[in-house]
Chain A
Amino acid sequence: MESALETLDKTTQQVRQISHNLMPGELVRFGLVAAINTLLENVNEEEINAQFHTNQEEERLEPLKEIQLYRIVQEALQNILKHAQAKNLFIHLNKHKDQLSLMIEDDGKGMPESAGEGMGLKNIKQRVQLLKGIFTVDSSPERGTVLNVQIPV
């Protein structure tokens, strides 16, 4: 007879296979702020100093908005870690009246102009469009990059 733990583990594995890549469990259970915190916990402290500021600790958004914003942060984080050579990274997620503002700022070497054509930024742009939001990228050599997303909520 299988123990409860073994049975549970098998079920878990099956579910995980099915839902892999759909929605991270943490996002579904605890929301966007917790999921971003976890993303940042996994960033190597020696590689980059990451800070997250938010006034959304207790808030939950519609699932579609949460997943899109989560993917945007994930995408931006990957870009920064791969290309920016930044020492510091700041994420701000704040609600101002009926607008939610997500800002991802680094102090790296800045993006080359051709970066706008890259898949990463294109994906972010598309996700913001789906959320009917505004997206701007500000980048200059040696002054880092700021990705700024604003969506209606």
Chain B
Amino acid sequence: MLKAFSQLKVVGQAAHGAEALELIAEYLPDVVLLDIEMPEVDGFMVLKKLRKSNLNAKVLVLTMHHSATFIKNIVAAGADGYLKKDSDQEVLLNAIEQVHKTGAYYPPETTHLVLESLKEKNKPVEVTPREKEVILLIVEGLTTKDIAERLFLSKHTVESHRQNILLKLEVKNSAELVKYALKKGWA
């Protein structure tokens, strides 16, 4: 398909990741179109290995996946661009050119997805309503056993809640938690 475009030259095609790495080292292409779903050494491994090497080919990832999680992970692994496999020819050509010229191509809807999920990450720490109940009972001085009885939960669950709360609020122990809750005006 790509051979039809006169401005591009296809220097190699690989059927699996190991072959892709060999061909990239041999032909030093400007841009690599990388499929993530390959047998044995998959595209993600190829990407990681490429980034550890001195090869500086730009990498445009082609995939069926389009979750924010997936995209964040390939960006973190060093991809220069991302494209859904079912994108049409014109989009593909434009993406290759963009990656080559500017070093980056992400479809607009993708940028939106990733930015939204970054925003999520920077949200202030939220405790769940159940965690709040547990915190208030800890502030009242109740033991794990008492809290369990009061909330109709097992001791095991209350203890897990307590540990999750300490981690989430970055406090060391129940005493610090009580201080935190009072400072926040929760109790």
A103 lies within 8 A of B15 (CB): no
| A134 interface residue per 8 A CB criterion | yes
Known: A7-B13, A90-B128. A15 touches B152 (CB 8 A): no
Binds A, one of B102-110, B135-143, B161-169, B174-182: B161-169
Chain B residues within an 8 Å CB radius of A55: 167
- Could you say which of A3, A8, A51, A105 contacts B130, with CB atoms under 8 Å apart? A105
B163 lies within 8 A of A101 (CB): yes
A9 lies within 8 A of B69 (CB): no
| A4 interface residue per 8 A CB criterion | yes
Binds A, one of B35-43, B51-59, B93-101: B35-43
| B185 interface residue per 8 A CB criterion | no
Contact-residue bracket for chain A: 35 or more
Chain A residues within an 8 Å CB radius of B157: 103, 136, 138, 146, 148
State A4–B4 Cα separation when bound (angstroms).
Answer: 13
Mark out the residues of chain A between 1 and 42 whose CB falls within 8 Å of any chain B CB in the assembled complex. 3-9, 11-12, 15-16, 25-26, 29-30, 34, 37-38, 41-42
State A141–B120 Cα separation when bound (angstroms).
Answer: 32
Chain A residues within an 8 Å CB radius of B1: 3, 5-6
State A25–B45 Cα separation when bound (angstroms).
Answer: 12
A46 to chain B, nearest CB (A): 16
B63 to chain A, nearest CB (A): 9
Known: A8-B35, A146-B130. A38 touches B156 (CB 8 A): no
| A53 interface residue per 8 A CB criterion | yes
Q: Which residues of A are interface residues toward B (Cβ below 8 A)?
A: 3-9, 11-12, 15-16, 25-26, 29-30, 34, 37-38, 41-42, 51, 53, 55, 88, 90, 92, 94, 96, 101, 103, 105, 107, 134, 136, 138, 140, 143-144, 146, 148, 150
A-B contact sample (16 more), CB < 8 A, given A4-B2, A55-B167, A94-B164:
A3-B1, A3-B3, A4-B33, A5-B2, A8-B38, A29-B42, A41-B67, A88-B128, A101-B160, A103-B160, A103-B164, A105-B130, A136-B154, A138-B152, A146-B153, A146-B157
